[in-house]
Structure formats: C-alpha cells, structure tokens
Amino acid sequence: MPSSSRPARERPTILVPVDFSLCSGTALGKARSWAAEHGGKIVVLHVIDHDFVAQCIREHLGSENEIKKTLFLNAKIRLRDFLRGEDMDGDGVETAVCEGIPCIEINKKALACDADMIVMGSRGHADEMKTIFFGSTTERVLRFIRRPVLCVPPKENHGHK
Amino acid sequence: MKAAADRILDLRGMIIPVTFLKVTRALREMKAGETIEIVGNDPETRRDLFKILQTFSYELLTMNNKQIPYRIRLIKGRPNDAIVKSSRTRETHDPRPR
C-alpha cells in the first residue's frame, strides 16, 4: 500500500478525492476501513472543475466571483452531507474544496498533504463518452502522480451511475 | 400577498449546482420587495436551497414542497435586512392532519 521508497509513518495520510458519485462513496468507505486498520488520517478533497466554471460564465449565470462563491458554498454543504452519509463527519477527517483542473489539483493536494496513498473511485460523474475517448479523472491522475493510488471500481449494483 | 409572483423561475429538469446558480442570479437581479416563485423537481435543490441563500436577505412566503414539482415563493429584502422567516410561511397542500 504506502510507497516502499518512503519511510512508514506513524499516522499515514490518505487522500480521497470525491465528486459525490456512488463510486467515490465506495472509495471513501475503502479509505475509512484502511485508515481504521492502520490508524491513518483521511483528507477528503472536492475539486470544482475549472471547465464547469468557464461554462457557467459563458452561460451568463453570474460573474466569475459570484459563480465561484455559489459553487464553493454548494460544495462545502454537499461535502459535509456526503461525509455524514458515510458516517465520517467526526474527528480524523480533514476536508478541502478547491477549484481547478481536477487531476492537477489532486496531484497538488497529494504533495501538499504529503499523502501516503490516494484512494479514488474509478468512475465518477464525468460524461460517459468523454471518459471513453479522453479517460477518467482517475486515469489522468495516474499519469502524473508519484504516490500509490488505490482505484476502487463501482459496486456491481451501482450500474452506470 | 400578490396572486402572481413578479418572476417565475422554472428549474424543472435541472440539477444542482446549476439550479443554485440560476436562483442566486435571479435574486441578485431582483429589487427589494419583488417576489419570485421557484418551480423545480430536483430534491437536492429543495433540500439545500435555503443553505445557499444564507447570504441573501429574503422572506419565505409560501412553500409547497409536498408534491413534484415543488413551488417556493420568496420576497427579496433589502441588502442589510436580516433573513426573515415569516409567520405567514406555510406549507400548502400538506395532507397531514393538523
């Protein structure tokens, strides 16, 4: 699990990027189990996609600042509810919301929090066709990251959602 | 209360966060005292709408949220007004016995 090239820490850090999809909920559950077993700390990250912000600006849904303000507030509320739904709203879980290109922001956060491992769902909310042709966010993270990544597939009964 | 709202915002078929962006844009464009009726069918929008509106001054006039599409009517307050939850606020079409 944690990289063999780095010394084992007393309390390893697991970064879990989430997009509120069922699959990212499953990944969060795996991270929780692993953290409970190894006494690890979990950092849950949600990235507001820069492309989505740009699209909202093009659709005249407000100024860039107004749009970001609403999206950040929405993300924080959803993240809190998402963690509550997974019984993870207690101590030992750190949360972060940022805006940017998801794969880059995930890599940045992994370095910033010195993550020992990243746990991600293999399939998020991204458009199915876009994922087929350009790959998922998880695949893009894997191209650049120098930390171990645990990629969690959706549960069988999740279907294509 | 006026029979018709000054604005009707139809959010049917839309989901968060687009719904929140449309509501906040509409409220920014409205003048104090104007009313808006929000019509929607996304349950997450209905659940979290008032958390998103925490930075706005408004009064909740009516909320029919027991059926789909739900209808929520608000009146915009002045910028420095506190958020008021009016005693006039009621849930219409509530089938539960009182």
Give the ipTM. Answer: 0.76
Separation between Cα atoms, residue B53 and residue B4, nearest integer Å:
22
| A55 in reach of chain B (CB within 8 A) | no
> Residue A124: what pLDDT?
73
Q: Does the residue B92 lie in any domain?
A: no
Q: Does the residue B83 lie in any domain?
A: yes
Which amino acid is it at B23? Answer: V
The CA angle A148-A146-A7, to the nearest 5 degrees, is 65
Q: What is the pLDDT of residues A125-156, one digit of tens each?
A: 665 555 555 567 888 888 888 899 999 988 87
Q: What is the pLDDT of residues A43-92, one digit of tens each?
A: 999 999 999 999 999 999 999 999 999 999 999 999 999 999 888 877 77
Domains of chain A: 13-155 (3.40.50.620)
Residues of A in contact with B28 (CB under 8 A): 62, 66
Q: Where in the sequence is the domain holding B58, given as residue range(s)?
A: 7-87
How many angstroms separate the CA of residue B9 from the nearest CA in chain A?
13
Beta-carbon separation of B52 and A67 below 8 A? no
C-alpha separations of A66 from A9, A53, B8, B23, B61 in Å: 42, 10, 21, 12, 25
Listed by number, the residues of chain A in 97-156 with a beta carbon closer than 8 Å to a beta carbon of chain B are none
CATH code, domain with B50? 3.30.110.40
CB A160 within 8 A of CB A13: no
Mean pLDDT over the full length of chain A: 86
Q: How many structural domains compose chain B?
A: 1
Q: Does the residue B95 lie in any domain?
A: no
Residues of A in contact with B25 (CB under 8 A): 61-62, 66
Per-residue pLDDT of chain B (98 residues; tens, 9 = 90+): 567 899 999 999 999 999 999 999 999 999 999 999 999 999 999 999 999 998 899 999 999 878 889 999 999 987 666 555 543 444 433 333 33
> Residue A92: what pLDDT?
76
